[in-house]
Amino acid sequence: MPDTTVENIGHWAAGIPAPTYAIDGGTALRIIDREVETISEESWKLFTS
């Protein structure tokens, strides 16, 4: 998707009232008791509002 840039994802995430992650195919999230851990060999970004 050519419009899937970090900048555009940031604009989309701004409308979400919760922490939002942008991850790629080499990234996973492990969530235990509301604690989030990123497991990654690639790239990811956390957006907070």
SS3 letters for 1-49? CCCCCHHHHHHHHCCCCCCEEEECCCEEEEEECCEEEEEECCCEEEECC
The pLDDT assigned to 9 comes to 92
The pLDDT assigned to 39 comes to 94
Mean pLDDT calculated for residue range 28-41 = 93
Q: Is the pTM higher than 0.75?
A: no
Is 24 in contact with 44 (CB distance < 8 Å)?
yes
Looking at every residue in the chain, the average pLDDT score rounds to 91
The pLDDT assigned to 41 comes to 86
Residue with the larger pLDDT of the pair 35 and 42: 35
